[in-house]
Structure 1
């Protein structure tokens, strides 16, 4: 990726193309760099559906529908060869998800489980998630790594869910648009959530360039972002995207509260704290709108999509669980969770974390 320093005020361009991680991503990148030069078709049938190679290949294909890549012809978004390869990658990924995801019997059961959290006493044995770890034990380097991973989504926050808007109508559409309007800052560019996350990254001394950490992040994070794009780009999976959206909004408020506490404990700056404080308040309201009006409105009109909504919830939880396991295993072993470790945290942030002072 580019080494050019960027800040949150820099014009956001498409990132440079990533390095390949195997034959699938090599084939995609070859097509983007040399669209007129033939390349052997890769074998998708035996690829690891959650592996680095397939997830990077799929992410690269999907990114053509967002901001694209530096130096890549925008017309390749609809290149038949790339679309054919993408379809094969999607089939491998989706088939694995349907087979591997622990499934709730009913949507009501799935929603109830999202709404119930274990007893959350700092340091309690039941508090085992990533946000609990960051709140109770996280060092500045853990917070910086977490933000670097999440930047692959948060710098385009709400964009994948916007694909569903033309596929909804009535109450569901109006409610979904209302929540998305908040995600996009309510008409105020400085309050767009992607911008707020870029400000958080600046506070943590991270590069805010869109896609800057693509080479550094892992397959588990890419799979989470790819899931949104997979659901969003297929009209037949609109119910699953609503389920994904519901999972994000319902679980966001308590998790964001813990992450805000983690930022304070680490002595992170005001923008880092504000991003999560904003989500505590906003998503507590969004959760009710999504359950009552987005899901409720959708199923009033298309009750046959209930199973898809449930699958969207379950698949999201499954992939988030895999991502959390990756991070916690690395951190508890004293390793970086990134493929390429970050430079050391600035002394100002490290010192602030020792004293509990703001930087």
Structure 2
């Protein structure tokens, strides 16, 4: 006998609190399917990197992974949600395309892989030789594999270059957001983690 769709499961997250109109509309729609969803025009926020759009995208994609407690699994393929996800994804990608320079993957990786001309022994290659660990070497090897990929699939150059620079852009924005939160005395989390109190051990009966 199978469990009811959307039944409570301890291993699935609860729906998060909304961070604005877009995420609020998506989150409100999921339990009932009755709330009007954003149109293409409404899914064009002033801040495409903001938490409202990003939370809405997270919720829509998470439906395809763990899902959410008390949310019907079939919503992952609801046509109206897929349309909204496309609108939001287009707005986010359009902002990235505008902010990321058009570079090939070799140009994008040049700053990461080029050894300084005045090498003082602190470069990546020297570090790996002296004390590098296996996982660090694997990361470098993965980057070197890009050259082989480009030889076999030269058409991927622009897309891969975009991906490298876009990742750096988003990591920089996240780091700035976290640092500003910490310096202002705020947690980087939307809500503080619950305090876990240590249990008092039971004394054995005499």
Same fold (TM over 0.5): yes
1:59-80 CA distances to partner (integer Å, 9 max, x unpaired)?
Answer: 0001012111112111111110
**1:90 alignment counterpart:** 89
In structure 1, the partner of 2:203 is: none
Does the 8 A contact of 1:30 with 1:39 survive in 2? no
Query: How far apart are 1:39 and its partner, in Å?
Result: 1.7
Q: Secondary structure at the match of 2:133?
A: helix
Structure with the higher helix share, 1 or 2: 1
- Tell me the CA shift for residue 110 of structure 1: 1.8
Structure 1 Cα separation of the partners of residues 114 and 18 of structure 2 = 41
Residues 75-84 or 323-332, more deviating: 323-332
**Distance in 1 (alpha carbons) for counterparts of 2:102 and 2:26:** 36
**Aligned positions of 1:91-240 closer than 5 A:** 91-101=90-100, 103=101, 105-115=103-113
The 1:12/1:302 distance shift into structure 2, 3 A limit, reads farther
In the TM superposition, residue 89 of structure 1 has moved relative to its aligned partner by 0.2
In structure 1, the partner of 2:162 is 311
The answer to whether the Cα contact below 8 Å between 2:45 and 2:53 also exists between their aligned partners in 1 is: no
Return the offset for 1:346: 8.6
User: Counterpart of 1:77?
Assistant: 76
Q: Distance in 2 between matches of 1:81 and 1:25?
A: 15
> Who is 1:16 aligned against?
14
CA–CA distance in structure 1, aligned partners of residues 196 and 173 of structure 2 = 26
| TM-score normalised to structure 2 length | 0.73
Structure having the higher Rg: 2
Task: Give TM-score scaled by structure 1 length.
Answer: 0.44
Q: Give the secondary structure class of the aligned counterpart of 1:18.
A: coil
Q: How many matched pairs?
A: 176
Q: Which runs of 5+ in 1 are unaligned?
A: 1-10, 119-249, 255-279, 348-359
Equivalent residue of 1:69, what SS? Answer: coil
1:291 is the counterpart of 2:157: no
**What CA deviation, in whole Å up to 9, does each residue of 1:151-200 have, x standing for no partner?**
xxxxxxxxxxxxxxxxxxxxxxxxxxxxxxxxxxxxxxxxxxxxxxxxxx
User: 2:6 maps to what in 1?
Assistant: none
CA, structure 1 residues 30+344, in 2 after alignment: closer, same or farther (shift >3 Å)? closer
Shift of 1:19: 1.2
Uncovered stretches (5+) of structure 2, i.e. residues with no partner: 1-8, 117-123, 199-206
Structure 2 contact 105–157 (Cα < 8 Å) conserved? yes
Aligned-partner Cα distance in 2 for 1:311–1:12: 39
